[in-house]
Structure formats: structure tokens, C-alpha cells
């Protein structure tokens, strides 16, 4: 069944004058983000999803919820603890938000547990078994016991909890066993905490023999406690896990050394307050209450009992089993047609003009990494400047930058030390680059540098020319295969001049308001320009030439942008929003947002690209960049959004938007109350992402055929034949 009609809220004529400051017109940021995770979980519930991909989606939701507690619930708890009573845009206090979020999380967890039980049975039918230790055969149990003794037992350290041994420190997201032991002849019981030593060398799920048979590490330890406590009775043994607050930011303005401050924050985070306690559902109330009391939590609110399996994010290991028949068809990114076979990337950009990149449909390695690689080796390149928010060990860009410095080029990298959960890695990268002679700076005090820019200064035949990559995603080879992102390679002089200004600001922090005429830079211009362009769309809207705004991004959270979109919709402008997760705007409200459609696309890739489109009375404008319409992006981060002016590239962006807005296989449509309805195609329509994979493949095939034809013509001509 295709669901076409959007839910509307009927508003009486007398109520058609809307107060756009009223909280009822704005959805809650946290609750809409949790709604996104319900959509992700549906991918695990959907029987059309390959089985191991379903396991992956369970792991993704579990990992997302861990981060949600560390970042969002942690922040709300800090506000509540500080006695902050200020209401959110949608009219909720911090305590109200926590309570409502807890209710939704418990609902998601219940769905997840029921689903995992079903999927474990389906895996069993496919020869992949995750069994309790006690269901193994006697021989298998003995084999695993011997494995445990050799490879794991030396890593296990029991910690008693008694007057001589105070309650131990419990590290964030670690798996732990709470065990009650007593001597055979005594009644006094001692509580013992055992940390489960999950690591790359001791994975959560240990393979039994050569079969696809696995037993959980915590289960293996729990069933061999006689090795830890010889001759003692085991009264109980239950699993638990804690989540700590990740919000430990200090005042940058007071810091003498930003690097030292971040290192201090990382140390503090290890000992941050606990905000969630997860326990096995079989744990007694006495034991869970004791844990809650020791950890400073409410036994009524902050304990989450789990029946199936704690730390379901560890299921990424199972999702990675090599069973192609249970996975999505393999995806091999294509080469960008404008760069394939071209010997010099700078010549290609100069001769062809701006080139649009679309990952993961097109290869990150043969485009972005190639751009930096060639810059590091090209004798005509004088300088390379770059912003770095997140990267990975699998990304070669850092090594290329080091090579460039060793080759005598001036290399400057603006490293964002405050990229959440990547602070430690970024400190390591910064030290490594500095030791190679790269100029490393840490951006502007008080602002995160979230922009994605690589800037190359090259001595061309007619003088210095600036080449740039401006993207929507991080310079991270891993996420470039999993996230959808866009990038622009350009040598446009105006953009180059403005990037020069940007890097001068980033490396000094001086003169923030610079003369940007083409790039939309946050925090000093982007928000103002977006609001102006929304107002302009209203002013140019007519019956014969209706206005149209289309945004694709991860989140719409900023109240000012949301209110402006409401006003535009009231003026008759049609608005299409492709929002991955958080969205404050409520579509389908009669008299307010009749003209607004909000959809969310969930598939094998994480939607991460940002596109801003304005019809502008027929003089269409397209922009791509690093910013979402969130208050933090627009007001407290350095973001770069670039125009895409070449008609050929605008056509590509138009195709992307049209594919997503017309698709019904992987699309969820938002209702006025913030809930989502999944669209259902009449036929076997493939999802938007699968459509884009096919389109990229067709384009690559055409390019390859043209090259083969060109080579054949050359060979034919060389043989003395006329063409």
C-alpha cells in the first residue's frame, strides 16, 4: 500500500494567526533523534533486509543509544543537577526531557530484545549459532575451558567489595560480572566484581572450533568461576554495565594551553559521573539496588534491566561474519568519470572546471586521497592547508601531508581537538604531524572547526592558482565507504581568495568578519544568509512562479531557521526537507505547514550530505557544505558551505534530490505529531541509495566504454586505416 496522504492537524479559522515563538510548533530535539533510531531499528525488523545486515542495524542502534546517554542525557542531567529550570524551545524542562527520553528508550530496548531473540533463531537456521556455554557439548565445554585458561584467565582480576576493599572504579561501557561467593562452611557472602576483558585479542564472541558457533566471553567466565574461587560456593553471578557522562568541557577562554586542557578533559571523562546502569534482568533487586546506591543513581529511574544481551553494540562482530549470501550485495565505488584515466588531477580541474564528487558511490581513494597525494608530490605545489575534524588510521591523507612537508612544501593543518570521542586520536595525529614539520593549529577559541576543506596553492603556467576540495564529510576512509557525502573540487579564483581569508582567520583567530561574497561561512554569515534566502524565496513567490526550497541535511534544530521555513510555507512556498534525524518542524499543520513535506531516508549507508536549494524565481541556487541547521553549527562552529554554480553539476544535485523525493522503498514521511510512516511501493522498487548505486555504475560504464572506443580508434588509425 502506498501512503500518500499526510496527517494534518485541523486548526479552526480563528486560530490561524500563529505565534511562532509558541512551544507547541516545535518538536523536541532528543525525542525526534530517538524517533530516528526507531527507523534504524526497523531496518533490523524488516524481513527484506539481509540477515547479517539486520544484526548490524541492532548493533548500530545500541551504539547510538550509548552515545545518546553519554552526550545528551549526560548534558540534561548536568542541567537538572545544577537546578536549571529554563525550558527548551518545545517547552520542556531538563527533568521532563529525561523522563520522556527514558520512556522511549525503554520502548526501543524492548523491541530490540524481542527482535534479537528472533534473529538468533534465524541465524541458527543459517548455521550461525550463539549458544549459552551450558548448551555446548561436554567436549566443546572442555575445549573452551582450556582456551579460557590459556588466553583469558590471566587477564581476569576479581575485586572483592567489603570493608577492606571499597567499591571499585567501574570504567565506562565496560562489561562486568557481580558475583556472590562464600566458603562452603560459612554463611557470610562476599561480593566480587569481575571486569570482562573484551578487547581485540579477546572478542566478545569466541568461536568454538571451526564452525560458525560462538559463546559469549562473559558467559565463558561465569561458567568457570571455580578457577577464580577454588573450593567456594557461587551464590549468584550477574552481568552489569555502566555509562558515564561524556560532557566534561572546561572553559577554553581560561585555558593557557588548549592541548593540555583537552588532555585534562579526557582524564576527567574516565571518572565522570555514572548516568545509566544496565543489569541482567535476572539480577536481584537487592544487588541492583546496591549497585545503584554505590554509583549514585536512582534505583527507580536509572536502572535498565536487559533480558537478552547487554552491550548489543558488540554484535558488529557477528555482523562481520563472511557470509555474502546474508549480506547486502558488495558495493564497489566507481571512479569519478571526470578524473578516471586523467594523469594530472590539477590539470583536470583547471581544464574541465569544478568537479562534483559523490561518496560512497564514487571512490574516496581515487578522488580526495588522490588530490592530496598528487599535491604532496607535485613540484609545482607550494602549500597545502587543511581542516581536520575526524580521520582514521586507514586514511592515507595524514601520510601524504607528512610527505608534502618532507618534500619542502608549506603544510598547515587546523586540527579540531574537541571532536567528540576523537579527542585522543586527534591529539595523536597532531603530535605526529608536528614532529614532521607541519604547522598545526587548533582553530579559534570558543568555536569548533567543523568545516571540511583542503586548499592547495600551485604555481601554474600563468601564476599562482588555488585548488580546493570543499566537502560535507570527514576526511575518514572508513566513513567514506559508509556515509553518503558530497565534495567539490574547484580552482575558482573567487572561492580560492575567500579560502585564503578563511585560513588566515583559522590560524590567528583575528578579524572574524571577513569579506566572503561566495562562500557561506559560519558562525558569522551562514545563518544570516540562509534566513535572507528563505525570505527572498517568499518575496519572489507568485501563483505563476511558485517558490521552492529543498534542504537535505542531518538535522533541523535551529528555531530561527524553523520559524523562517514556517513563514515561507504560510506564504505559499513549497518546502521539501530530507532530514536524517532531528527535526523540530512539524509538517502538515493546516494554515502553518501545509506546504511542507519532511522525509527521512534510512538504508545501507548513513545519509550525511547537506544540500541547500532555492528556486530563486528561476535563477536556481544550489549549495553543499559541512553544516546542518542546528544552533551549534550555525552559531558556535566554523562551517563552510559552497555554491555549486556549474549547470552540469547542478543537474547532478537535482538528480539526487529527485531520486530521494520520488522514492518509496526507503522513505519515511513525517507526520505533524513527529511520528513517521514508512512509504510502501506498489511494485518492487529499489531504494534511493540502490538507485544511486545503479546510476553511478551506469555512468562509470559509459565512461569506460568511451575510453575503450577512443583507444580502439587510436589503434585503428595507427594501423593506417581512416576512421
Domain boundaries, the chain: 13-23+521-688, 36-326, 345-518, 689-723
CATH architecture of 345-518: 2-Layer Sandwich (3.30)
Work out the angle at residue 560's Cα, subtended by the Cα atoms of residues 559 and 563, and round it to the nearest 5 degrees.
80
pLDDT digits (tens, 9 = 90+) for 639-652: 999 999 999 999 99
In the beta sheet, which residues pair with residue 614?
Answer: 549, 621
pLDDT digits (tens, 9 = 90+) for 156-215: 999 999 887 889 999 999 999 999 999 877 778 999 999 999 998 899 999 999 999 999
Tell me: pLDDT of 704 over 80.
no
CATH class, range 36-326: alpha beta
Report the percent of the chain where pLDDT is more than 70: 92
Task: Give the model's pLDDT for residue 184.
Answer: 76
Contact between 432 and 417 under an 8 Å Cβ cutoff? The reply is no
pTM for the whole structure: 0.92
Tell me: pLDDT of 610 over 50.
yes
C-alpha to C-alpha distance for 358 and 697, rounded to whole angstroms: 12
pLDDT digits (tens, 9 = 90+) for 336-361: 999 999 999 999 999 999 999 999 99
Tell me: pLDDT of 6 over 50.
no
Least confident of 196-200, 259-263, 690-694: 259-263
36-326 and 345-518 share one CATH topology?
no
Tell me: pLDDT of 363 over 60.
yes
Instruction: Just list the catalytic residues.
Output: 450
Contact between 449 and 506 under an 8 Å Cβ cutoff? The reply is yes
C-alpha to C-alpha distance for 168 and 231, rounded to whole angstroms: 24
Task: Give the model's pLDDT for residue 711.
Answer: 55
Task: Give the model's pLDDT for residue 418.
Answer: 84
Tell me: pLDDT of 504 over 90.
yes
C-alpha to C-alpha distance for 145 and 152, rounded to whole angstroms: 10
pLDDT digits (tens, 9 = 90+) for 231-257: 999 999 999 999 999 886 655 555 456
DSSP letter string over 183-219?
Answer: ETT----EEEEEE---SSSS-SEEE-TTSSEEEEHHH
Task: Give the model's pLDDT for residue 718.
Answer: 58
Query: 519 — phi, psi (to 5°)?
Result: -75, 145
Task: Give the model's pLDDT for residue 703.
Answer: 63
Task: Give the model's pLDDT for residue 699.
Answer: 76
Tell me: pLDDT of 7 over 80.
no
Query: Residues 686, 691, 693, 694: is their CA dihedral positive or negative?
Result: positive
Task: Give the model's pLDDT for residue 247.
Answer: 80
User: What's the mean per-residue pLDDT of the chain?
Assistant: 92
Give the CATH fold of the 13-23+521-688 domain.
Endonuclease; Chain A (3.30.870)
pLDDT digits (tens, 9 = 90+) for 446-479: 899 999 999 999 999 999 999 999 999 999 999 9
Task: Give the model's pLDDT for residue 13.
Answer: 38
Q: pLDDT-derived band of residue 261, with 50, 70 and 90 as boundaries?
A: low
Please write down the long-range contacts of 185-192, taking CB distance under 8 Å and 24 or more positions apart.
189/235, 190/160, 190/161, 190/162, 191/160, 191/161, 191/162, 191/287, 191/290, 192/158, 192/159, 192/160, 192/161, 192/229
Read off the C-alpha cell for 583. 527535526
Task: Decide the pairing of beta strands 548-553 and 611-614.
Answer: antiparallel
First to last CA, the chain: 55
DSSP letter string over 682-693?
Answer: SS-PPPHHHHHH
Task: Give the model's pLDDT for residue 585.
Answer: 98
Task: Give the model's pLDDT for residue 163.
Answer: 80
Task: Give the model's pLDDT for residue 213.
Answer: 97
Least confident of 83-87, 150-154, 213-217: 83-87
Residues 6+ away with beta carbon under 8 Å from 638: 387, 443, 444, 447, 448, 449, 450, 451, 502, 506, 521, 522, 523
Amino acid at each position: 500500500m502506498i501512503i500518500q496522504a499526510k496527517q494534518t492537524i485541523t486548526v479552526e479559522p480563528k486560530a490561524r494567526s500563529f505565534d511562532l515563538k509558541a512551544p507547541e510548533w516545535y518538536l523536541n530535539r532528543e525525542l525526534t533523534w530517538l524517533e530516528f533510531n526507531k527507523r534504524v531499528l526497523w531496518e533490523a525488523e524488516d524481513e527484506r533486509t539481509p540477515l547479517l545486515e539486520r544484526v548490524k542495524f541492532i548493533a548500530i542502534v545500541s551504539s547510538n543509544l550509548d552515545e545518546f546517554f553519554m552526550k545528551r542525557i549526560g548534558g540534561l542531567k548536568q542541567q537538572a543537577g545544577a537546578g536549571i529550570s529554563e525550558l527548551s524551545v518545545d517547552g520542556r524542562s531538563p527533568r521532563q526531557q529525561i523522563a520522556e527520553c527514558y520512556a522511549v528508550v525503554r520502548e526501543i530496548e524492548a523491541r530490540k530484545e524481542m527482535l534479537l531473540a528472533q534473529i538468533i533463531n534465524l541465524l541458527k537456521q543459517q548455521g550461525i549459532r550463539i549458544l549459552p556455554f551450558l548448551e555446548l557439548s561436554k567436549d566443546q565445554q572442555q575445549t573452551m575451558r582450556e582456551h579460557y585458561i590459556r588466553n583469558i584467565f590471566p587477564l581476569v582480576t576479581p575485586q572483592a567489595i567489603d570493608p577492606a576493599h571499597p567499591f571499585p572504579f567501574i570504567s565506562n561501557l565496560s562489561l562486568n560480572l557481580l558475583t556472590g561467593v562464600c566458603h562452603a562452611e560459612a554463611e557470610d557472602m562476599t561480593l566480587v566484581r569481575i571486569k570482562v576483558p573484551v578487547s581485540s585479542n579477546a572478542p566478545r564472541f569466541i568461536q568454538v572450533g571451526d564452525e560458525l558457533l560462538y559463546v559469549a566471553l562473559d558467559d565463558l567466565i561465569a561458567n568457570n568461576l571455580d578457577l577464580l574461587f577454588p573450593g567456594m560456593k557461587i551464590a549468584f553471578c550477574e552481568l552489569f554495565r555502566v555509562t558515564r557522562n561524556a560532557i566534561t568541557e572546561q572553559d577554553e577562554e581560561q585555558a593557557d594551553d588548549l592541548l593540555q586542557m583537552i588532555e585534562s578533559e579526557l582524564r576527567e571523562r574516565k571518572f565522570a559521573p555514572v548516568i545509566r546502569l544496565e543489569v541482567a534482568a535476572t539480577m536481584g533487586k537487592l544487588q541492583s539496588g546496591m549497585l545503584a546506591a554505590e554509583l549514585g543513581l536512582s534505583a527507580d529511574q536509572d536502572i535498565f534491566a536487559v533480558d537478552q544481551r547487554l552491550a548489543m553494540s558488540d554484535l558488529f562482530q557477528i555482523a562481520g561474519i563472511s557470509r555474502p549470501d546474508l549480506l547486502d550485495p558488495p558495493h564497489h565505488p566507481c571512479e569519478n568519470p571526470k578524473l578516471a584515466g586523467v594523469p594530472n588531477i590539477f590539470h583536470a580541474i583547471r581544464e574541465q572546471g569544478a568537479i562534483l564528487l559523490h561518496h560512497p558511490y564514487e571512490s574516496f581513494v581515487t578522488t580526495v586521497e588522490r588530490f592530496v597525494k598528487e599535491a604532496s608530490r607535485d613540484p609545482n605545489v607550494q602549500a597545502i592547508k587543511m581542516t581536520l575534524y575526524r580521520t582514521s588510521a586507514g586514511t592515507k591523507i595524514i601520510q601524504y601531508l607528512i610527505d608534502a612537508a618532507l618534500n619542502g612544501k608549506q603544510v598547515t593543518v587546523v586540527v579540531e581537538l574537541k571532536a567528540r570521542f576523537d579527542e585522543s586520536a586527534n591529539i595523536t595525529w597532531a603530535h605526529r604531524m608536528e614532529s614532521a614539520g607541519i604547522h598545526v593549529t587548533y582553530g579559534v577559541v570558543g568555536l569548533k572547526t567543523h568545516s571540511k576543506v583542503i586548499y592547495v596553492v600551485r604555481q601554474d603556467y600563468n601564476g599562482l592558482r588555488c585548488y580546493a576540495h570543499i566537502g560535507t564529510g570527514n576526511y575518514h576512509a572508513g566513513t567514506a565507504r559508509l556515509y553518503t557525502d558530497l565534495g567539490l573540487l574547484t580552482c575558482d579564483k573567487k572561492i580560492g581568495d575567500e579560502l585564503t581569508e578563511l585560513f588566515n582567520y583559522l590560524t590567528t583567530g583575528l578579524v572574524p568578519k571577513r569579506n566572503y561574497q561566495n562562500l557561506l561561512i559560519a558562525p558569522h554569515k551562514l545563518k544570516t544568509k540562509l534566513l535572507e534566502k528563505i525570505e527572498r524565496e517568499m518575496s519572489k513567490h507568485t501563483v505563476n512562479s511558485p517558490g521552492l526550497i529543498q534542504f537535505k541535511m542531518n538535522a533541523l534544530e535551529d528555531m530561527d531557521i524553523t520559524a523562517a521555513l514556517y513563514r515561507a510555507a504560510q506564504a505559499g512556498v513549497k518546502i521539501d526537507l530530507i532530514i536524517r534525524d532531528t527535526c523540530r518542524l512539524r509538517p502538515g499543520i493546516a494554515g502553518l505547514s501545509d506546504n511542507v513535506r519532511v522525509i527521512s531516508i534510512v538504508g545501507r549507508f548513513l545519509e550525511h550530505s547537506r544540500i541547500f536549494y532555492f528556486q530563486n524565481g528561476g535563477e536556481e541556487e544550489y549549495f553543499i557544505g559541512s553544516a546542518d541547521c542546528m544552533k551549534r553549527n550555525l552559531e558556535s562552529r566554523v562551517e563552510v558551505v559552497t555554491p555549486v554554480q556549474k549547470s552540469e553539476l547542478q543537474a547532478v544535485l537535482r538528480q539526487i534530490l529527485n531520486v530521494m523525493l520520488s522514492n518509496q522503498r526507503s522513505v519515511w514521511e513525517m507526520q505533524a505529531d513527529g511520528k513517521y510512516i514508512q512509504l510502501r511501493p506498489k511494485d518492487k522498487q529499489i531504494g534511493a541509495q540502490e538507485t544511486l548505486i545503479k546510476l553511478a555504475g551506469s555512468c562509470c560504464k559509459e565512461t569506460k566504454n568511451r575510453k575503450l572506443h577512443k583507444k580502439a580508434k587510436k589503434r585503428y588509425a595507427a594501423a593506417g586505416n581512416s576512421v
